[in-house]
Structures are given as structure tokens and as C-alpha cells.
Amino acid sequence: MGTVYALVSGKGGVGKTTITANLGIALSQKGKKVLLVDSDIAMANLSLLLGMHSSPITLHDVLLGESSLQDAIYDGPGGVSFVPSGLSFESYRRVDSARLAGVIASVKEDFDYILLDAPAGIETNVMSALSAADNVLLVTMPISPSIADVLKTKIVAERLNAKPIGVIVNFVRNEKGEIMPDDIMKMLELPIYGLIPYDQDIRKSFMREKIMPTILFKPNSKGVEAINQIAEKLTGVSSTIRIKKQGIITRFLNKLSSIFKRKPKEKTLREEVKEKTKSVPEIDEDLPEISEDSIEVEE
Ligand SMILES: Nc1ncnc2c1ncn2[C@@H]1O[C@H](COP(=O)(O)OP(=O)(O)O)[C@@H](O)[C@H]1O
Ligand SMILES: [Mg+2]
């Protein structure tokens, strides 16, 4: 029985799609059976990065109930299997993302790892991806707003009974002012699964004439090396991620922590999702708001 991982973040542009593609191929290169799913059904960036955006049957057709998932699984690059998303806005608007969990559960037996490239945020489609996941990997940049955003997503994941297991910190530049890994761990109360440096070779993956994941054209790049370490951690080959200590937890982070650790009052969101199979409920109103005004920053 395979394990389903959702890669999530608070905002877009932190590297979820990039990491999903490269991590999936890294796991496949280690002999694992891997299914990547472009669950960002509005944007389909993973389909683009894997060069499979013009596939005839997509996740849209599956979520519309018009095709089976088996018919939407293709051989992707680097040995992975892949479910592309569609590009049609019309079909996207009609798609019922609440079907995702049932659809993914139907192929869990066939793979070791199923990675879901989730959309950003805490909207309906993200919640559908979280509902389909066993484990969650939070992706963040090493800066306060990104960590604050992903903390919100972590809380939503927990309320949907998807287990946040670790944090992947991307765009690490080791610059002054970055939040140190040790502090990120304390803040999110999760281990670090990877520290991926800012890497020109990764940046170029979407800019090449033939778009493809960096692991396929520059396997020795620093970014890919870090992603290979995440694959090793997931497969249990190695659990050592080198982390710099001695960071300072600022009052800013402590304040955020206390805002977020409030307990939810009512029934879990998963129960709500189960009740309403046709639509995933809005939850914004009972999550703590993070606005600049709600955070005191001590100079
Ligand atoms: N470690 C990195 N170094 C340099 N560029 C990166 C890195 N990770 C991602 N990128 C680039 O940042 C952009 C956003 O990444 P993407 O994976 O699409 O983020 P998301 O899926 O979270 O929106 C892409 O152009 C990607 O190539
Ligand atoms: Mg993306």
C-alpha cells in the first residue's frame, strides 16, 4: 500500500511544483514506484514542467466523472507515472475536486509513493488535496511571511486529518535576515526534511527550450543534491539533514506561534467534507487571521 504525500504552501511561487517533479523522479531513480498527480487543477504547472500538458485524458475528466483515473495515468519522464491536469477553463469550472480523495485511494495499491502537487493557500482545491493525503510536506521560504502562511496551511491539514510530517525550506541563500532552520522547526513544530538552496539550474528549468525538471538535465546541481537528500529521508536510507543551529526566535515568531496554537472548537473539517461529498466547506472564518496589524514586531 503506497503513501500519499501532499506538497503544500501558504502562497504560490515557493517551489512546490519544482520539488514535486524532482523529488518524484529522485524516488523513482531509487527504484520506487511513483505516481505524480497535478492536483493544481487550475494552473497545471506540473503538467507543463513534465512536458505533458497536451495529454488527451486529464484529471479534469476524472473529476468530472467522465474517465477513470487509470485512463489518465501516463508514463512521465524519469520513470514516474503521471496524472496531468487539464488546461481548459471551462472544464476546470465544472470539476468537482471533492472527488479527488476517492479517486486517489483507488490506485494506492499500485504505487509506493503518490505525490500531489497542491495549489497554494487554503481554498477548496487545496483542501481536497489535503483530504486525499496521508502525509503533508510543508514547503516554505526561510522568511517570516512565508512561514506564517504555511503555518496556516499546517493547521488546515491537521483539521483534515492529513499528517504534516516535515518542512522543506526552499530558496535558501544563507543571507542575513533569513529565519534559521532551527527556528523554523521550533515555529512549525516539525522536523526539517530538506534545505534547498537558491539554484540557477532550478530557476532555468522553466526557461529552457524544452522545459524539464532539473534532475534530468543537471543531476549534480546543488538543488538536486538537496532534493535527493529528501528522497533518502523519505525512503529511510538517511535521516541526516545538515542544519545550522544558534538561530534566534524573535518575538515576531513567538507571537505568531501563540496566535496559531489556539484550539479549533467544533468538529473536524474531514467530518464536514465527508458529510458534504459534493462540496468542500469554506473554513476561512474560523481560522485565525494573520494580518500585519495582528502581529507585534519588536525592533
Ligand atoms: N531552489 C530554487 N532556486 C531557484 N529557482 C527556484 C527554486 N525553486 C523553485 N524555483 C523557481 O521558482 C519558480 C516557482 O517555482 P514553482 O515550483 O512553480 O512554485 P509553486 O509550485 O510553489 O508555485 C519557478 O520558476 C521555479 O523554477
Ligand atoms: Mg505550482
Burial status of residue 243 (CB atoms within 10 A of its CB: 0-12, 13-18, 19 or more): middle
Tell me whether residue 55 is in a domain.
yes
Tens digits of residue pLDDT in 233-260: 999 987 666 665 545 555 566 666 666 6
As a whole number of angstroms, the distance between CA 231 and CA 234 comes to: 5
**135 with 27: CB under 8 angstroms?**
no
**83 with 129: CB under 8 angstroms?**
no
Predicted confidence at residue 58, as pLDDT, reads 96
Tell me whether residue 268 is in a domain.
yes
DSSP character for 67? S
Residues whose Cβ atom is located within 5 A of ion ligand 2: 16-17, 45
DSSP character for 289? P
Predicted confidence at residue 101, as pLDDT, reads 96
Predicted confidence at residue 280, as pLDDT, reads 40
Per-residue pLDDT, averaged over 105-130, amounts to: 94
List of E strands, the chain? 3-8, 34-37, 74-75, 81-83, 113-117, 135-140, 163-172, 192-197
Tell me whether residue 265 is in a domain.
yes
Looking at the DSSP assignment, which residues form a beta bridge with residue 81?
A: 35, 75
DSSP character for 65? T
DSSP character for 20? H
Mean pLDDT over each residue of the chain, to the nearest integer: 86
- What one-letter code names the amino acid at 233? K
Predicted confidence at residue 138, as pLDDT, reads 98
Tell me whether residue 199 is in a domain.
yes
Pocket around ligand 1: residues whose beta carbon is below 6 Å from it? 9, 12-18, 45, 170-171, 196, 198-199, 202-203, 205-206, 223
Task: Count structural domains, the chain.
Answer: 1
Tell me whether residue 299 is in a domain.
no
pTM: 0.85
Predicted confidence at residue 292, as pLDDT, reads 42
Of 157-166, 202-211, 229-238, 277-286, which range is least confident? 277-286
pLDDT tier for residue 29 given thresholds of 50, 70 and 90: very high
Ligand 2 centroid from CA 189, angstroms? 24
Q: In CATH, what number is assigned to the domain containing residue 228? A: 3.40.50.300
Residue with CA nearest ligand 1 atom 27: 203
As a whole number of angstroms, the distance between CA 9 and CA 14 comes to: 7
Q: What strands, in cross-sheet order, belong to the sheet with 163-172?
A: 74-75, 81-83, 34-37, 113-117, 3-8, 135-140, 163-172, 192-197
Tell me whether residue 188 is in a domain.
yes
Look up the domain containing 169 and give its range: 3-294
* Closest C-alpha among 124, 168, 154, 160 to residue 261: 154
Ligand 1 centroid from CA 145, angstroms? 17
